Amino acid sequence: MRYSSVHHHVVFLLSFTSITVLALDFTSVKAKLHQSVDLTCEHECSGLVKWVMGNQQELLAHCNQTSCSSNKGYQISHHQKRNVLTVMEADYTKRTFFACECNTEDICHVRLCIEPVKSSVQLNPGEDLILMLPVPEPVEVIYNSSGSHEQICTVVSRLQCKDEYTQRVSLRYPNLTLERLNVSDSGDYTVRDIKNDEVIHVYTVFVEGPDTPKEQTSAVPAWVIGLMVVLMVLVGGGVAVIMYLRRRRRKVMLQQSEGGASNGATAKESLDKLL
């Protein structure tokens, strides 16, 4: 009976501990690639504070009542009710969970995620598109264009692509190359981490060539240019006519003025003779 009672107490304590651990929720923090990010634990701790990373429980930083210490690439800030671990340069090797401990007991779990990188790429027909695969396999490449959405390649142990891409895609880790692009290859190429269900990189690709639709250019339409030429000719012709008419009128008025003066002189001479 005594052994049974002790056994039940042990089972109860283990169960209670498991429930406590499960109740400790994860919070997620997103960081930009290669930039610093703060992991915050809003819990009171008056003893020894430690931050560890991943299942290996790698010690990153700790603080006691008098001093703090941290590994290269990390900084710790400790107050009684707030503990902050700064990751100085977030990258894909740090995409895991971090635990904050107070006197060897977990008080916070924070998962670090990396925001998807977005790139715009402009290519000419015949050029190659290079996609970076910065995380270990398995990954997939998804192509989006004009409403279509399809997985074109995966890297799971080896490279596998759809039939129409097999002869055009090669893998030399960490670069996946799509060769000999044409205008119809324009669109979004998404590199996605299958294991962690995270988008790693989105490439927006524009392939421009002689057959690129005119709507994509900013040139003035030909009919507008033609209309402008016609208007310029009409305006120029109208100005020329007006100038001609003005010169003609001035010439007529001058002739009339000279004729009147001549007639006046003749009449005076005739009068003088009569007298």
Identify the pLDDT of residue 211. Answer: 53
Identify the pLDDT of residue 109. Answer: 96
Residue 201 has φ and ψ, to the nearest 5°, of: -150, 140
C-beta separation of 80 from 46 below 8 A: yes
Cα–Cα distances (Å) from 115 to 153, 155, 173, 187, in that order, read: 22, 21, 22, 21
Identify the pLDDT of residue 6. Answer: 40
pLDDT of 230-266, one tens digit each? 788 787 777 777 887 787 777 777 766 666 555 555 5
pLDDT in tens, the chain (275 residues): 444 444 444 344 444 333 334 455 679 999 999 999 999 999 888 889 999 998 878 999 999 888 999 999 999 998 878 899 999 999 999 999 999 999 989 999 999 999 999 999 999 999 999 999 998 889 999 999 987 889 999 999 899 999 999 999 999 989 999 999 999 999 999 999 999 899 999 999 999 876 555 444 445 566 667 788 778 878 777 777 788 778 777 777 776 666 655 555 554 555 354 44
Q: What is the dihedral of CA 129, 134, 135, 137, to 10 degrees?
A: 30
Tokens in use for 210?
């002689």
Provide the CA 83 distance to its chain's centre, in angstroms: 33
Closest C-alpha among 118, 177, 125, 182 to residue 153: 177
Identify the pLDDT of residue 3. Answer: 43
Q: What predicted TM-score, i.e. pTM, was given to this entire model?
A: 0.64
199: three-class secondary structure by DSSP: strand
Cα–Cα distances (Å) from 71 to 75, 86, 87, in that order, read: 8, 11, 10
Structural domains of the chain, ranges and CATH numbers in brackets: 27-114 (2.60.40.10), 117-207 (2.60.40.10)
Task: Show Cβ contacts of residue 201 under 8 Å, excluding neighbours closer than 6 positions.
Answer: 116, 117, 118, 119, 131, 132, 134, 190, 191
